[in-house]
Structure 1
Amino acid sequence: MVRILRHGLFGLAVLLGLFSTTLPASAAYPDRPVHWLIGFSAGGPVDIVARIMAQWLSERLGQQVIVENRTGSGGNIAAAAAINSPPDGYTLLFVAPNNAISTSLYKKLPFDFLRDTVPVASIMQLTNMLVVSNAFPPKTVQEFIDYCKANPGKISFASSGNGTSVHMSAELFKVMTKCAMVHVPYRGSAIAFPDIISNKVQLIFDN
């Protein structure tokens, strides 16, 4: 994880430096704070990585990189805010699989993601892990599948929003195992965990 973050930080810093060379000679980039939009709630995996990187960039660029959480709609609210901001390099968007998924999941979006955005740097790779409450009876995946089939529609899974990889991982699991579960979307995985810990919602496929 640390190695991936270091590579991502290096790539982002280099590309921000390259971007600055395209500005007029009188302009020094950045000469004011940079805003980095996050589509999910504070405390989740995307937010944590962004804040680590924002501190690193702030120290090296000499300007504050401010992380802003614009939650909702599976990250599309943050995407719309970034796309509608002035194209001056002072608003960045943390892009995740949900942005690609949304292009096919949502029939109408107020933007064309591929047309309206430009990639800056690859930051990290991740996997999704099945996490359950300690109070949940099954302790292995097979026990979990058997329990789901014995209790169809009585088990709920949390996600960080519709169309996120967290949501899609659970939907794929449902198809592969023929388990009937109820989807409970949140504005980020971090705010779902109190309900998972208390067993109000039984599981999540989190990053």
Structure 2
Amino acid sequence: MNLLLHICCACCLCAPLNELRKEGFKVTGLFYNPNIHPLLEFRRRLKALRVFQESDPISVIYCEDYGLREYLKKVNYEGDDRCADCYTMRLEFTAAYARENGFDAFTSTMLFSVYQNHEQLKMFSENLSKEYGIDFIYRDYRHLSECSHDIARKKMIYRQGYCGCIFSEYERYKDTTRELYKGNNPHSKDKESTRKVLNTKDVLQRCDCFG
């Protein structure tokens, strides 16, 4: 059976791909993730998937356009259903692509992540399967999450710190703090290695442009 596998990231692909192959599926990947922001993060995840391909060849269809505008148009990012809108956007694209390009079925690595709403993803996929007339392959591989991460570490594949959108990045890092402009040696008496943050008044006083 020719299976179109939506890939959210290389890390979530590692272990599930092996299991799907053991079941006899001929797997083709689809990287379609307009939710991933900012641009540099999007590029990191594209590169991570290509690094994965070097050690474990898999045919992948890449949608490489940075999807900021598409994401903002389709997702109600001010409401409580932001994730549901994001799931639907990516899954619907996958189901439609599978039907239009002769695949027998579709599924997504999002189902294999312990960080996503599993039941919601399953329900949306089943509804899209009926709407588009294409089989949906349901598997619960969440128990392979740590195994997948271990494989990613061994392959030295980039592992992201948040789901994908700019809002999930904020939620992931909003409570973190760090010292800015800190010297390499906090105990050093070398004044050149000690930096301080200037306030606005200091900056203006030191800038010739403002007299």
Q: TM-score, normalised by structure 2?
A: 0.36
Structure holding more helix per residue: 2
